[in-house]
Amino acid sequence: MDERRLEYLIQEKKYVTLKKELEEMNEADVAELLEPLDIHTSLLIFRMLPKDLAVDVFAHFSVEQQRDFIGVVTDKELKDIIDELFFDDMIDIIEEVPANIVKKILLNAKEEERSLINQFLRYPPDSAGSIMTIEYVDLKKTMTVRDALDHIKETGLDKETVYTCYVTDKNRKLEGIVSLRKLVISEEDHTIEDIMDRDVIYVHTNHDQETVAGMFKKYGFLALPVVDKEDRLTGIITIDDIVNVIDQETTEDFQKMAAMSPSEEKYLDANIFNLAKQRVMWLLVLMVSATFTGGIIRKYESVLETVVVLTAFIPMLMDTGGNSGSQSSTLIIRGLALGEIDLEDVGKVMWKEFRISIVVGIVLAIVNFFRIYLFDDVGLTVSLTVSLTLFVTVIIAKVVGGILPMIAKKMKIDPAIMAGPLITTIVDALSLIVYFAIASRMLNL
């Protein structure tokens, strides 16, 4: 069904057909279809859906839509939604919506769930604890394969995943894992103890979500168990949530690399003062840092007064230097984030950037020389001065751009800070110093 068909069915009040067609669709598609409608029409259709589908659709709504919905549904409906939602989805919602809605949700949650919610809300943001869920299949090692399959048959529908099952002792300590694949291919009278995998790879509730994502990438798991300080199993993290984590962490890197404070708010939903705040701090820092560059120019004002044409090449030199440095820092930052580059590679990176910058610098300097000399009518000496500066600038920019992210990492600062904007400011100053030094000598000023 597309938007047009939906509109038609609503207008013609063909609700039976509408219901039937919606039931056949995937919940993510239904959510997408309802999202642009006004809240009343949307709620009307939502109420037609079978309860299971309705909850799944709700889980696929955007935070804003969920917030609006919670505001208008009855307490009974909210209770149903809360009962059916997976725990991690509920925690996500609670973390995003305003306090009055949190209150409404807590009032409608069961007693034992309320204390669990409070426990989960105390996990640090972006920790394994904050993204895990509690709906996992819990087996005992004395069970037979047949017992285990029966257990899954009974409880499996309410679990986030049944494909990895967790074996715990009576103190909830994690003893092993069994995949459903293993269960299905094993003989029915074997015990779980016989077939379980004891070398379980797990994470702690306070591990950073980025570390957790890295483990999923390395091992190719579908789920990872999360244990508390006493090694008791407290939840699991599934791969579908990790995909979001990867996107979120990358977005954070993009923001930092463009000199912004990271924010999880979606652009179109964020208000302009929050967006302005996110941007203005770094702009101020960089603006004030650029003072230094201005100071260099003022120091060499006499050189510029004598050969004013030198000023005309400042933008090109600054931009090319900044771009060269950004290229290097971007590759290194990304390499560090993906674990392809380690801190001990710092020597290799410097040597590599140095050699690359010589190749790139020579090409740029030659092209630049002929362009200026042939078209700009500024004479041989100025052309040579500018091209030589360009060559040196590219080398400095690439080595600085390659090295600063690694120094940041070494100092436990996020390397993403050492990206284009900051590198540009640093390289600007250095390139002007080189420019005036070369110009003074070549032009005998």
Q: Lay out the site mask for its own copies across 224-253 (x = CB under 8 A, - = otherwise).
A: ---------------xx-xxx-xx--xx--
Q: Lay out the site mask for its own copies across 354-393 (x = CB under 8 A, - = otherwise).
A: -xx--xx--xx--xx--x----x-----------------
Output the six-digit token pair for 400. 């600085």
- Sign of dihedral through CA atoms 346, 352, 354, 360? negative
Which is closer to its own copies, CB of 109 or CB of 152? 152
Instruction: Point out which span in 42-50, 124-132, 224-232, 424-432 binds its own copies (CB under 8 A).
Output: 424-432
Instruction: Point out which span in 5-13, 44-52, 113-121, 259-267 binds its own copies (CB under 8 A).
Output: 259-267
Give 31's Cβ-side CA count (13 Å radius): 18
* Shortest distance (Å) from residue 74 CB to its own copies: 28
Q: Is 271 exposed, middle or buried (0-12, 13-18, 19+ CB in 10 A)?
A: exposed
* Shortest distance (Å) from residue 170 CB to its own copies: 25
Please give the residues from 279 up to 298 whose contact with its own copies meets the rule CB under 8 A.
279-280, 282-284, 286-288, 290-291, 293-295, 297-298
Compute the distance between CA of residue 140 and CA of residue 48 in angstroms, rounded to an integer.
Answer: 41
Measure CA 237 to chain center: 17
Out of 99, 268, 374, 411, which residue is the one contacting its own copies (CB under 8 A)?
Answer: 268
Please give the residues from 13 up to 52 whose contact with its own copies meets the rule CB under 8 A.
24-26, 28, 32
Compute the distance between CA of residue 443 and CA of residue 445 in angstroms, rounded to an integer.
Answer: 6
Instruction: Point out which span in 45-53, 94-102, 177-185, 203-211 binds its own copies (CB under 8 A).
Output: 177-185
Task: Compute the chain's Rg from CA coordinates.
Answer: 30
* Shortest distance (Å) from residue 284 CB to its own copies: 6
Compute the distance between CA of residue 339 and CA of residue 202 in angstroms, rounded to an integer.
Answer: 20
Compute the distance between CA of residue 280 and CA of residue 388 in angstroms, rounded to an integer.
Answer: 36
The reply to whether 173 sits near its own copies by the rule CB under 8 A is no
Compute the distance between CA of residue 129 and CA of residue 200 in angstroms, rounded to an integer.
Answer: 18
The reply to whether 205 sits near its own copies by the rule CB under 8 A is no
Q: Which helix (H) or strand (E) holds 46?
A: helix 39-48
